[in-house]
Amino acid sequence: MSKMRHRGLPVPLLLHPGESLTYLEPSTHNPRKAQVGGRNSLKKISWHDVASRVVAASVGGYAMTYAVTICVTVLLPLSRTEAVLSAAMMSFLFYVGAIIWAFAAATPMRAWLGLLLSAGVSGLIAFPLVMAMSR
């Protein structure tokens, strides 16, 4: 309780001195946490790894989002305007997912593969349906 005052002001909130909140901090009081995610154990990332993922996320991610959105649009059993709107609203969630994948995948190659594969599969499914609809 001795730390309950700071610069003369009472701090009536819970205090957790010494406890590591996030993986941003090495914790001197909790050796197990330091092993799992302590800052000193984070591996260095090369710039081309980052660059590849950034391009994968932005360009590859957009390609995937665009393809998946079209796929969802033509697959939804709704009227034209309703299908377009529904898929459009979902599209941003797809894009967010793509970006997270781009940075969570174990290697940049996997990041690209995942995105291009999804885009490809969606395109394959959607293409004949789009052709049929525009006839």
Shortest separation between residue 54's beta carbon and another protein, angstroms = 10
**What is the Rg, in whole angstroms, of the alpha carbon atoms belonging to the chain?**
24
Q: Are 103 and 111 in contact (CB under 8 A)?
A: yes
> Which amino acid does the sequence have at 85?
L
Sole binder of another protein in the list 55, 85, 113, 125 (CB under 8 A): 85
| Contacting another protein within 95-124 (CB under 8 A) | 95-96, 99-100, 103-106
Backbone phi, psi, residue 6, to 5°: -140, 120
Burial of 128 (C-beta count, 10 Å sphere; 0-12/13-18/19+): exposed
Q: Give me the residues that bind another protein (CB under 8 A), please.
A: 3, 6-7, 11, 13-17, 21-24, 36-37, 41-43, 45, 49, 53, 58, 65-67, 69-70, 73-74, 78-89, 91-92, 95-96, 99-100, 103-106, 126, 130, 133-134
